[in-house]
Copies of this chain bind each other. A is one copy, B any other.
Amino acid sequence: MPCHESLAVPPPEGFVRVRMTVAYDGTPFHGFARNPGVATVQSELEDTLAQVLRHPVTVTGAGRTDAGVHARGQVVSFDADESHFEPSALSRAVNRMLGPTIAVDNVETAPPTFDARFSCTGRSYRYHIFNSPVVDPLTRHFTWHVRDRLDIGAMQHASGAIVGTHDFTSFSKRNKSRPQQTFVRTVREAQWRKSADDVTFEITASAFTHQMVRSLVGMCVEIGRHRRRVEDMGVVLRALSRGAAPSPAPGRGLVLWRAHYD
């Protein structure tokens, strides 16, 4: 969407635009976006960067992950005072202060109009399911435990219906303060894989609506349990009604895997 690019505001005089990759365990956070009174990834990052850089920092992220959702390849951008900015020193200082739930990497100077959100041309998410009668104590914070044996073939077949450009109203949580928002998105790839009891969904799209991946996973799992038919994916998609879709899958199985830039 080139119109977004033109909105990007360059940094003020004496400042540089910085790009940084961020990984986090979402378990202790109330999502990415700053939210007064609760711990979020954005507020942890902004507070820590402000201490290191000695000026207020506002961070923009490629994806606004929900409570409990994790990231391996979240990308953020912010402006830093040139006189205090040295990539590897910043990386070391921030990682030392943040502790083990958040880690930053690949800190680098970006072009002045780079914006982690609006320059982003695609996002890849992964959703992890542990599909076994018994819970896996080792992966429980990062997987959805589904006891019923899933029919992965049916789930993959159903996922074909969501590839391409569609109105994902049925699989989106509406934001009441934004009545004009659109739910049209372009899904480039949607792939289910299985290795022993580990089932993984990999999905890449231009962008995602709120709770879109979790809602699609919830629908696929109902199909994998044979509670809904493969054809129901298209039926629910065309219904343009959130009431037509089953509950979203839990946040803990979801990881923002990679943000794509041209």
A contacts, CB < 8 Å to B: 23-25, 70, 72, 91, 95, 100-105, 133-138, 140, 142, 255
Question: Are the CB atoms of B138 and A255 closer together than 8 Å?
Answer: yes
List B contacts of A91 (CB < 8 A). Answer: 134
In the complex, 6 of the A-B residue pairs with CB atoms within 8 angstroms, ordered by the A residue number, are A23-B136, A23-B138, A25-B137, A95-B135, A100-B137, A138-B255
Question: Are the CB atoms of A138 and B134 closer together than 8 Å?
Answer: no
The answer, among B95, B134, B135, for a CB contact under 8 Å with A134, is: B95
Nearest chain B CB to A181's CB is how many angstroms away? 31
Query: Which residue, of A104, A138, A140, has the highest number of chain B Cβ atoms within 10 A?
Result: A138
List B contacts of A23 (CB < 8 A). Answer: 134, 136-138
Nearest chain B CB to A97's CB is how many angstroms away? 13
Nearest chain B CB to A159's CB is how many angstroms away? 24
Question: Are the CB atoms of B25 and A103 closer together than 8 Å?
Answer: no
Question: Are the CB atoms of B105 and A137 closer together than 8 Å?
Answer: no
Given contacts A134-B23, A134-B95, A135-B95, contact A140 B100 (CB under 8 A): yes
- Chain B: which residue is nearest A21 at the CB level? B134
List B contacts of A134 (CB < 8 A). Answer: 23, 91, 95, 103-105
Nearest chain B CB to A47's CB is how many angstroms away? 17
Bound CA–CA A104/B70 (angstroms) = 28
List B contacts of A103 (CB < 8 A). Answer: 134-137
Nearest chain B CB to A112's CB is how many angstroms away? 26
Query: Which residue, of A100, A102, A134, A136, has the highest number of chain B Cβ atoms within 10 A?
Result: A134
List B contacts of A100 (CB < 8 A). Answer: 135, 137, 140
List B contacts of A140 (CB < 8 A). Answer: 25, 100
Nearest chain B CB to A99's CB is how many angstroms away? 9
- Chain B: which residue is nearest A72 at the CB level? B138
